[in-house]
């Protein structure tokens, strides 16, 4: 397996827009398979963003939620209040400083994220169905290139010092 291209000037800069266009074409061709129960859900986009943040970062301070999402702490508190009422998030205080509110996904919230992940996996399986063994091998190789590139840039964490537990 080759190593990712870490140079800022790629040899083929025209390929990136072509790949993005192909990706967009795939998205339009397969459509979005949204389960009917999601369309009737009372979950807001802001609530979903908080669930995804908690899934990615684990336990996190209320102030970090607000800062990461670019919203006021009072707005984050309102979103968390709704998610706590839906049993999707747990809220606790820091043992050393009771003013610090710490939030985390509950089992119900984790199950919601798992269903979203499963939907994405189903879409990916749909994309791979019908490919030959050779094409699947190439797809695997591309996935490994992308993973190596992400790992080399260490882009996973958005944590900031003193904000996340």
Instruction: Output the pLDDT for position 29.
Output: 81
Please state the three-class secondary structure of the chain as a single string: CCCCCCCCCCCCCCHHHHHHHHHHHHHHHHCCCCCHHHHCCCCCHHHHHHHHHHHHHCCEEHHHHHHHHCCCHHHHHHHHHHHHHCCCEEEEECCCCCCCEEEEECHHHHHHHHHHHHHHHHHHHHHHCCCCHHHHHHHHHHHHHHHHHHHHHCCCCCCCCCCCC
Domain region containing 91: 40-126
Instruction: Output the pLDDT for position 163.
Output: 42
Flag residues of the chain having pLDDT under 50.
2, 157-165
- 60 part of a folded domain: yes
- 53 part of a folded domain: yes
Instruction: Output the pLDDT for position 47.
Output: 93
Q: How many domains does the structure of the chain reveal?
A: 1
Instruction: Output the pLDDT for position 13.
Output: 78
- 133 part of a folded domain: no
Instruction: Output the pLDDT for position 107.
Output: 96
Residues whose CB is less than 8 angstroms from the CB of residue 34 and which lie 6 or more positions away in sequence, other chains included? 119
Instruction: Output the pLDDT for position 126.
Output: 85
Instruction: Output the pLDDT for position 37.
Output: 64
This model's pTM is above 0.95: no
What CATH number is associated with residue 115? 1.10.10.10
């Amino acid at each position: 397996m080759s190593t990712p291209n870490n140079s800022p000037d790629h040899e083929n800069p025209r390929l990136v827009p072509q790949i993005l266009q192909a990706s967009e074409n795939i998205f339009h061709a397969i459509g979005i398979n949204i389960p009917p129960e999601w369309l009737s859900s009372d979950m807001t986009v802001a609530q979903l963003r908080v669930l995804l943040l908690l899934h990615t970062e684990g336990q996190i301070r209320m102030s970090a939620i607000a800062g990461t999402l670019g919203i006021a702490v009072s707005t984050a508190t309102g979103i968390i209040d709704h998610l706590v009422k839906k049993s999707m998030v747990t809220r606790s205080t820091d043992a050393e400083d009771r003013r610090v509110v710490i939030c985390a996904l509950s089992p119900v919230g984790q199950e919601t994220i798992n269903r979203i992940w499963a939907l994405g996996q189903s879409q990916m399986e749909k994309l791979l169905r019908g490919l030959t063994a050779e094409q699947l091998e190439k797809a695997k190789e591309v996935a490994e290139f992308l993973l190596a590139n992400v790992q080399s840039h260490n882009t996973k964490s958005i944590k900031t010092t003193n904000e996340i537990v």
